[in-house]
């Protein structure tokens, strides 16, 4: 690989550049509509593809940075796709390669249709659960996260999206870990009051989600969903530079 660049040649599109299948939950969550109290119970039936949210966000960007989908070509056999997936997953998740170095994926026009057709193959080859636990950036969650730090992260994410096309972020609460999750940011809009980031959540693959930064409060919020009760959380960018 040569001639690395910070500027991907195409814009990230949710309908094309995300996984069609979901990252599954080990636990099911219920949030009291009055108190917000959370109760949990084991998923039944048990999930078969879980503890890989950071794997999925990393691989989303690896396909975005290193693959070139060619729908005009005939589909390949499973062994060819397995080799391509392994080569893409082995590449640098922090920087895009030159256009000439991209790996051609024949028969599909994006990751979403490719993952719909080859779900089991991608699940087998993208990465193991331990890869979501041993992420270089996880050290940051054990230290206090102040408003000034979050303001800096919000501005850093804007720059990263302009330069890299997508940004991967870690959502967490610590020491009470009510959320510990990764999502993909791919756009933003802003006003005097807030910055609204557009995102892909591997837990919720059917539609985009929003991560919002409140300028006055210097805090990020994430809306309620099937695994999070909503509210303020801490955010750091991951897979971006040497300590992360």
pLDDT tens sequence across 152-203? 999 999 999 999 999 999 999 999 899 999 999 999 999 999 999 999 999 9
Chain centroid to CA 50: how far? Answer: 14
Q: What share of the chain has pLDDT > 70, as a percent?
A: 96
pLDDT of 210-239, one tens digit each?
999 999 999 999 999 999 999 999 999 999
Contacts with 220 (C-beta within 8 Å, 6 or more apart), sequence order: 150, 153, 154, 211, 212, 213, 214, 232, 233, 234, 235
Residue 215: predicted pLDDT: 98
Comparing 98 with 30, the larger pLDDT belongs to: 98
Residue 73 pLDDT greater than 90, yes or no: yes
Given a cut of 90, whether residue 207 has pLDDT beyond it is: yes
109 and 71 Cβ atoms separated by less than 8 Å: yes
CA angle centred on 151, ends 213 and 219, rounded to 5°:
40
CA–CA distance, 211 with 236 (Å, rounded to integer): 12
Residue 7 has pLDDT above 60, yes or no: no
Split at pLDDT 50, 70, 90, the class of 8 is low
Round to the nearest angstrom and report the end-to-end CA distance of the chain. Answer: 22
Mean of all residue pLDDT scores within the chain: 94
pLDDT at 188: 98
Q: Between residues 29 and 161, which one has the greater pLDDT?
A: 161
The rounded distance, in Å, linking the Cα atoms of 150 and 222 is 14
This prediction's pTM: 0.93
């Amino acid at each position: 690989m040569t001639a690395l660049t910070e500027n991907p040649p195409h814009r990230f599109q949710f309908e094309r550049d995300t996984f069609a299948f979901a990252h599954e939950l080990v636990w099911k969550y219920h949030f009291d509509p009055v108190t917000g109290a959370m109760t949990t119970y084991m998923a039944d039936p048990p999930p078969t593809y879980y503890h890989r949210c950071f794997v999925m966000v990393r691989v989303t960007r690896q396909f975005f940075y290193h693959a070139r989908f060619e729908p005009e070509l005939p589909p390949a056999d499973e062994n060819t796709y397995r080799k391509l997936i392994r080569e893409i997953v082995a590449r640098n998740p922090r920087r895009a390669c030159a256009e000439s170095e991209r790996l051609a994926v024949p028969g599909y026009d994006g990751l979403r249709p490719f993952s719909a057709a080859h779900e089991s193959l991608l699940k087998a080859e993208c990465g193991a659960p331990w890869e979501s636990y041993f992420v270089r950036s996880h050290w940051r969650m054990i230290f206090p996260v102040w408003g000034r730090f979050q303001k800096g992260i919000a501005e850093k994410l804007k720059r990263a999206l302009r330069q890299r096309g997508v940004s991967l972020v870690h959502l967490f609460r610590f020491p009470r870990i009510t959320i510990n999750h990764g999502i993909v940011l791919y756009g933003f809009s802003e006003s005097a009051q807030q910055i609204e980031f557009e995102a892909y959540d591997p837990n919720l693959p059917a539609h985009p989600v929003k991560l919002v930064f409140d300028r006055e409060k210097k805090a990020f919020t994430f809306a309620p969903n099937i695994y999070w009760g909503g509210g303020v959380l801490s955010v750091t960018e991951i897979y971006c530079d040497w300590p992360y």
